Structure 1
Amino acid sequence: MDIDGFRGRLISADHADYDSARAVWNGAIDRRPHLIARCIGTADVVAAVRFARNHDLGIAIRGGGHNVAGTAVCDDGIVIDLSAMRGVRVDPADRRAWVQGGALWGDVDHETQAHGLATTGGIVSHTGVAGLTLGGGVGWLMRKHGLTVDNLLAINLVTADGGLLRVSEDEHPDLFWALRGGGGNFGVVTSFEFRLHPVGPTVLAGPILWDATDAAEVLRLYRDFIAGAPDELGTVVRFGTAPPLTVIPENLHWRPVMMVGACYAGPIEEGERVLRPLRASRTPLLDLVGPAPYVGFQSALDSTVVHGWNYYWKSTHLPEVRDDLIDVITEHAFSCSSPRSYAAMFHLKGAVSRIAEGATAFGNRQASHAITLDAVWRSGEDFGDRDTAWTRQFFAALRPFRQGVYVNFLGDDEDPGRIREAYGDAVYDRLVDVKTTYDPENVFHHNQNIRPRAGTQIVGPTSAPH
């Protein structure tokens, strides 16, 4: 099978690389596309979109392939695979980076940190830039520098009719608004332009571990501590077992722990002073906070979320961490079966909440935390059913505290109403308007889908507004 004007690799079901090419980060996802189009440039993306439309094939878009719902691969349709498009270019004087749509955050950090620069980019280096950005982008730097979308300056996009658009505050501003949180609903992003900030290359960072039996007390101390923490401090609280990392003593491996990961995006001496009260809370089993390369810290958790393991998530945003919420968390967090399953709380606020609701399509900016309940098991292990049930029970117990959800944390079996919950009514309705303008036939629907209004259609290859 050929695609007119396509120069990359076409991989069909009879190809020796088909199974590896259709595999995504979440090993629980097993889908068989009709064709995988591994693009090497924008013209390939245009050709693949037009081919899919002409042959009535559904489209999935693969950047890093890291979405837990497996939206990067579809059954029967075509996967537009950008994984060969991983270029990053940095202008250190202007503090900007241009990043291709298939790049991973490790690619970005590698290039930007050569100049002591960074932008908010997740907490795992093998996460794709495109998916994380288009959903909003949470990471260690967000409280100081905002979400990834708050640092997005421009996008190059292939539209549903195979057209090309540059999108920014000045060019198609309605679409630029929607792309900053609205996910992959509006086209295929071939490149991003980001604002960069001075960060590192050495930061104060690392985990602090407490025994699970101390979790309720430490979580209350943590709550009081972060209430006065400066924006430079990013934290993630993890409830589970101590992973078998080389920096963690072997006698602690797989021990149930509450872990606070911290990254201070400011002077190291200042960070030492800020973190001192937390590090003195109770008596930790292990305190690994210290000066560390930012690039290394960004990849420190990579081995705990390995490609090909099986993942099932539930998630919600949370309000302030009240005592009754702490009781629910500590009652459920350590009752999973798999030693790899965990719950994680991302501290928001700071620069995230200072941007007005509705300024971008990212919803629920006033939430205190985002929590994910993550069942994790390897092929051949029998934890899947039990820990899937654990996530659902834990999620049900959080119902009184739920305050929206981060769209990138939605799984594959969610109630469709949760997509509206991710944005709120006003933002969701505005997203529908933009979707109806730029993708009225819902060509890009293999995602957390914003459905266009009925009764509209694309009328020609240049129909997207210019």
Structure 2
Amino acid sequence: MDIAPLRSAVSGAVLAAEDQGWDAARASHAGVGRPDVIVRVSSLDDVSEAVRFAAASRRVAVVRGGGHSAWCTLDEGVLIDLSALDAVEVVEDSEGGALVRIGGGARWGDVARILSDQGLGISSGDTASVGVGGLTLGGGIGWMVRAWGLAADQLVGAQLVTAEGEVVEVSDASHPDLLWALRGGGGNFGIVTRFDFRAHDLPAVVFAELGLSGDARTLLAALRDVLATAPRELTVTYMDVPAMDPNAPAGATIAACWAGADEDALRAALAPLLAVDGVVENDLAVREYPDILLDHPAPEPDQQMPGFIGGNTLVVDLDEATIDALVAFRESTPASVLFLRSLGGAYGDVPQEATPFPARDATWFAMAGGFDIPGLVDDAERARLASAWAAIEDRGAGVYGNFSTSTDPAFAERIYPTETMARLAAIKTKWDPRNLFARNHNVVPA
């Protein structure tokens, strides 16, 4: 492959396997990729040129923002690294509110810090190093999901480079079909080089950590009952993990975030839960929003990450049978994890047809899985875990693509309902008929 024309056309760095810095450039949080060439773009024009090169050379375009996507670890393709496009600009919108324009390579921790200095916030994920682009295009469940909805629900516009290398401005007034698709339809339709979000006033948050002991079924039922009537300012997570490292103590905990600085309001909302035997308050304090985002360092490039047998599901009714199935999965496998996050509130206010994201009637997001540790897990155990998880997923109303590490091209069929997939496929046909952007939970052109 002759990359000399590409080197001449872009102002950013173009790296091939023989170049210095290649190994570092192809490593990310998700692991080490093996692309044909890496383009570290430094401008909008660079993105267009890289896309045209990928199309002309008949190679798939691989887009990297934060670098947490497992799709970046596959072989071949033109890897387009957006990390230099990380500008954050706050302007006044037409209604006097705050509009935040964020580059496609920005990461949520940096964005949250800049916005916090101005008393603002956007519903993002819960990890600082996650990219704005990947999280938003997949929907974006985070600490403000009950207060403000998904990250995608706050998206009001975008700048996008098409499969032809052209630049389009996307809004409800211009290309509304494309904006609809970007609100949860993944990276199927082009490369978003700028996201425009509606921001919210957020002087601070109140964050609590609760220790748990006793029967997990009773505790989860109590947590469910509290969230059924809780103010939408409250979002909680439940985490039960094995002993993995000193920074992640084993056992079950609840974390709670209140969108605002009112400690008394969070204490009142949690009071029924704290009255349950086995629930204790370990910490509760006002914090700046960026300070509650997790900061996971990238693994060493040669570190082999264990496999994960399980998945996630969006649960409409967290009834006793579903709770029992989730807890039984965790109890049956010492090296496993169980995680839940509350939904509802603003998340459920959005009509199902307004975005591609599935299951707007879900009240909980649940994830569980066993670690496939070589030498400790055999084929029979793998089959048992897969079967147990499949039964749990069948209880749900949809799957959240951002929490899946699957690179199976057919996985998108598990994310989107049939009617949604048909609409996405029609939009894909219009904007990317050759499926240049296929390194994702792929929507195949109609």
Distance in structure 2 (CA, Å) of the matches to 1:336 and 1:306: 25
Task: Determine the structure 2 residue equivalent to 1:451.
Answer: 444
SS at match of 2:28: coil
CA contact (8 A) 2:107 2:130 kept: yes
Residues 1:432 and 2:425 are matched in the alignment: yes
Structure 2: stretches of 5+ with no match in the other structure:
none
Match of 2:50 among 48, 51, 72: 48
Counterpart contact for 2:101–2:195, Cα < 8 Å: yes
For residues 433 and 224 of structure 1, the distance between their equivalents in structure 2, rounded to whole angstroms, comes to 41
**Equivalent runs, 1:230-269 vs 2, <5 Å:** 230-241=231-242, 254-255=249-250, 257-266=251-260, 267-269=262-264
CA deviations 1:358-394 (Å, max 9, x no partner) are: 101112111122222255689xx75677896675244
- Residue 412, structure 1, aligned to residue 406, structure 2: yes
Contact 1:364/1:423, CA 8 A, preserved across alignment: no
2-structure distance, mates of 1:115, 1:433: 41
Q: Indicate the residue corresponding to 2:109 in structure 1.
A: 106
SS in 1 for 2:146: helix
> 1: distance between equivalents of 2:368 and 2:28?
20
Which shifted more, 381-390 or 148-157? 381-390
C-alpha change, 1:84 and 1:198, in structure 2 (3 Å) is: same
Hey, what does 1:276 align to over in structure 2? 271
User: 1:78 & 1:46 partners in 2: Cα distance?
Assistant: 13
Residues 1:324 and 2:326 are matched in the alignment = no
Partner of 1:156: 159
Match of 1:34 in 2: 36
1:105-159: CA deviation from partner (whole Å, max 9, x where unpaired): 0011011000111010001111110000001111110111111111011100000
Question: Contact conserved, 2:312 with 2:393, CA < 8 A, in 1?
Answer: no
Deviations 1:317-363 (A, max 9, x none): 1221111111111111144444xx52211211111111111101112
Is 1:292 the counterpart of 2:287 in the alignment? yes
C-alpha distance in structure 2 between counterparts of 1:305 and 1:384, whole Å = 25
Greater CA deviation, 271-280 or 382-391?
Answer: 382-391
Question: Secondary structure, in 3 states, of the residue corresponding to 1:262?
Answer: strand
Distance in 1 of aligned mates of 2:220 and 2:131: 31
* Counterpart selection for 1:142 from 135, 141, 145: 145
Query: Per the alignment, do residues 383 and 194 of structure 1 end up closer, same or farther by CA in structure 2, a change over 3 Å counting?
Result: farther
> Match of 1:227, SS?
helix
Q: 1:305 to 1:280 in 2, by over 3 A?
A: farther
Equivalent pairs, count: 433
Establish whether residue 11 from structure 1 lines up as the match of residue 27 from structure 2: no
Structure 1 residues 36 and 391: alpha-carbon distance in aligned structure 2, compared to 1, 3 A threshold:
farther
Q: Indicate the larger mover: 80-89 or 92-101.
A: 92-101
Alignment-derived partner of residue 463 in structure 1? none
Judge conservation of contact 1:364–1:424 (CA < 8 Å) in 2: no
Contact 1:236 1:347 in 2 (8 A): yes
Q: Distance in 1 between matches of 2:285 and 2:98?
A: 27
Choose the corresponding residue for 2:434, options 435, 441, 446. Answer: 441
8 Å CA contact 2:409, 2:441 repeated in 1: no
Please say if residues 314 and 391 of structure 1, whose CA atoms lie closer than 8 Å, have aligned partners that are also in contact: no
What SS class does the counterpart of residue 126 from structure 1 fall into? coil
Say whether the 8 Å CA contact 1:10–1:38 is kept in structure 2. Answer: yes
Task: Report the secondary structure of 2:196's partner residue.
Answer: strand
Provide the C-alpha distance between the structure 1 equivalents of 2:10 and 2:176, rounded to a whole number of angstroms: 30
Contact 1:61 1:73 in 2 (8 A): no
Instruction: State the partner residue of 1:373.
Output: 368
1:204 shift after superposition: 1.2
Q: Is the 8 A contact 1:59 1:74 kept in 2?
A: no
Contact 2:28-2:298 within 8 A present in 1 as well: no
Distance in 2 between residues matched to 1:220 and 1:446, nearest whole Å: 39
Summarize the alignment of residues 306-321 of structure 1 with structure 2, pairs less than 5 Å apart. 310=305, 312=308, 314-321=311-318
Structure 1 pair 236/89, CA: closer, same or farther in 2 (3 Å)? Answer: same
CA drift at 1:13: 0.9
Tell me the alpha carbon deviations over residues 157-203 of structure 1, each in whole angstroms, 9 at most, x when there is no partner: 000000000001111001111111110000001011111111133x1
- 186-195 vs 382-391, greater mean Cα deviation: 382-391
Q: Retained in 1: the 8 A contact 2:62–2:77?
A: yes
The Cα shift of 1:51 comes to: 0.8
The structural deviation recorded for 1:80 is: 0.6
What residue is the counterpart of 2:202 in the other structure? 199
| Aligned positions of 1:118-197 closer than 5 A | 118-197=121-200
Q: Letter of the 1:62 partner, please give it.
A: R
Residue in 1 that maps onto 2:99: 96
Matched residue, 1:456 = none
Contact 1:268 1:291 in 2 (8 A): yes
Question: Percentage identity across aligned positions?
Answer: 33
Give the distance between the partners of 1:306 and 1:260, measured in 2 at CA: 26
Q: Are residues 1:215 and 2:208 paired? A: no
- 1:396 Cα deviation from its structure 2 partner: 2.4
* TM, length-normalised to structure 1: 0.86
**Runs of 5+ in structure 1 lacking a partner?**
247-252, 454-466
Q: Give the Cα separation in 2 of the matches to 1:278 and 1:63.
A: 39
Alignment counterpart, residue 29 of structure 2, candidates 14, 25, 30: 25
Matched, 1:349 2:334: no
